[in-house]
Amino acid sequence: MHFGLTDEQEMIVSTVRSFVENEIYPHEAMVERTGQVPHELGEEIKQKVIDLGFYACNFPEEVGGPGLSHLEFTLVERELGRGSMALTHFFGRPQNILMACNDEQRERYLLPAVRGERMDALAMTEPDAGSDVRGMKCQAVRDDGDWVINGSKHFISGAEHADFFIVFIATGVDDTPKGPKKRITTFLVDRGTPGFEVREGYNSVSHKGYKNYILYFDNCRLPDAQVLGEVDGGFDVMNEWLYATRLTVAAFSVGRARRCFDYALNYSAERKQFGQPIGKFQGVGFQIADMITEIDAADWLTLAAAWRLDQGLPSNREIASAKLYASETLARVTDTTLQIYGGMGLMDDFPIERFWRDARVERIWDGTSEIQRHIISRDLLRPLGA
């Protein structure tokens, strides 16, 4: 067993770390205050990332990406997790799902996305269909050889910057012994398509500036050429590609937890009460010990899951465990750090209150903690007939 990184991997980590510290941190307070990233700033960050060859670093060489392993890409995501998500969005990791593009779609979507010319967003969730993806109501029906779409999607991140959307839409129902089951198809929808509209969404306390939007389809007509993968093959596309985003949530959580922990560690060494650094009180010192233990555990769980993917081993359960544990660790670490800061932790003079707010969504999106536990337990119990 070998737990070390290669020289290249160390350099990837240190380059991304310096990039986040120098190009992202200085703008964080402004993004937090204004709740948005100015267009020029986003473009400037994107251009720097393109110049550094890190744009779309989750893509293989055959389509113009750098061909990193899952482990290496996870290391990149971990370092990016330190920075504001609204800003690191421009570090550009298009949805892996675009690899499902056919030759013609490659030219229109995949390749421009990898080059940073077109940005994407992914839409699955609906007001009445969150964890229960199959419960979606947004539907496409056949009309004169095209698809006509009606319905809506909400909580769609990155929509303001997106040039096109990867949208999961119901295309029929099957009767099964367990009751009716929706068939789902993945569509590529360009911004500006008639009958398709992007509207402002809700205000979230997590990740200010990384806004969510609502998509409306009102008799929106799409030709077959906009179907990604097979008609009715939406779940195949999801299963083949969506694990990747869950692993990125785990990696994000570990990186953010480490940044937060450094604040806790330094503050407990510097802040004095009753004539001594508060870290000397066992009540605080033990919290430091528990935090670093959990962060290290979450880190290894995440890297091990990425390593399994690289080995081609079954990884679904391991990724779910990593996502579950890392996001919950981040919640505990940010909460404990805030407690160590006392009242000052709540003030926006320090980034702690922001880390604490940001952390909350990690246990919800890309599959709630409960859904991850469901995946883990079903993986273990189903083979036993339970």
Partner 1 sequence: MKVLVPVKRVIDYNVKVRVKADGTGVDLANVKMSMNPFDEIAVEEAIRLKEAGKADEVVAVSIGVKQAQETLRTALAMGADRAILVVAADDVHTDIEPLAVAKILAAVVKEEEPGIVLCGKQAIDNDMNATGQMLSALLGWSQATFASELDIDGDSAKVTREVDGGLQTISVKMPTIVTVDLRLNEPRYASLPNIMKAKRKPLDEKTAADYGVDVTPRLEIVSTTEPEARAAGIKVDSVDDLIAKLKDAGAV
Residue owning tokens 């205000």: 203
Residue 7 touching partner 1 (CB under 8 A): yes
Residue 19 touches which member of ligand FAD, partner 1, none, C-beta under 5-8 Å by kind: partner 1
Question: Residues 24, 31, 37, 57: which binds partner 1 (CB under 8 A)?
Answer: 57
Q: Is 51 in the site for partner 1 (CB under 8 A)?
A: yes
What is the DSSP secondary structure assignment for residue 153, as one 8-state letter? E
Q: Which does 333 bind (CB under 5 to 8 A by kind): partner 1, ligand FAD, none?
A: none
CB of 206 to ligand FAD, least distance (A): 6
Q: Is 267 in the site for partner 1 (CB under 8 A)?
A: no
Instruction: Closer to ligand FAD by CB, 165 or 263: give it.
Output: 165
Q: How far apart are CA 376 and CA 368, in angstroms?
A: 12
Number of residues lying near partner 1 (CB under 8 A)? 16
Regarding 11 and contact with partner 1 (CB under 8 A), the answer is yes
Nearer to ligand FAD, 294 or 366 (CB): 366
294 binds, among partner 1, ligand FAD, none (CB under 5 to 8 A by kind): none
- The token duo for 152 is 């809506």
Residue 68 half-sphere exposure, CB side, CA atoms within 13 Å?
22
Q: How far is CA 34 from CA 27, 31, 207, 318, 351, in A?
A: 11, 5, 12, 38, 15
Residue 214 backbone phi and psi in degrees, to 5? -115, 135
The binder of 53, among ligand FAD, partner 1, none, by C-beta within 5 to 8 A per type, is partner 1
- DSSP, residue by residue, 315-368: -HHHHHHHHHHHHHHHHHHHHHHHHHHGGGGGSTTSTHHHHHHHHHHHTTTTS-
Distance separating alpha carbons of residues 65 and 57, to the nearest angstrom: 6
Residue ranges in 64-93 that form contacts with partner 1 under rule CB under 8 A? 66
193-to-2, 137, 170, 215, 217 alpha-carbon distances in Å: 51, 20, 19, 12, 10
Answer yes or no: are the C-beta atoms of 362 and 249 closer than 8 Å: yes
Report whether 199 contacts 214 (CB < 8 A): yes
Taking a C-beta distance cutoff of 8 angstroms, is the pair 206, 357 a contact? Answer: yes
- Contact partner, 366, from ligand FAD, partner 1, none, Cβ < 5-8 Å per class: ligand FAD
Amino acid at 24: I
| Residue closer to ligand FAD, measured from CB, 123 or 170 | 123
- Judged by CB under 8 A, does residue 260 bind partner 1? no
Provide the 8-state DSSP code for 85.
Answer: H
Among residues 15 and 369, whose Cβ is nearest to partner 1?
15
34 forms part of the interface with partner 1 (CB under 8 A): no
- Determine if 10 is a binding residue for partner 1 (CB under 8 A): yes
| Part of the chain binding partner 1 (CB under 8 A), chosen from 13-21, 138-146, 175-183, 342-350 | 13-21
Using the rule CB under 8 A, is 195 a contact of partner 1?
A: no
Residues 337-356 that bind partner 1 (CB under 8 A): none
- From 15-23, 164-172, 217-225, 320-328, span contacting partner 1 (CB under 8 A): 15-23
- Kindly state whether residue 292 participates in binding partner 1, applying the rule CB under 8 A: no
Binding stretches for partner 1 (CB under 8 A):
6-8, 10-12, 14-15, 18-19, 51-54, 57, 66
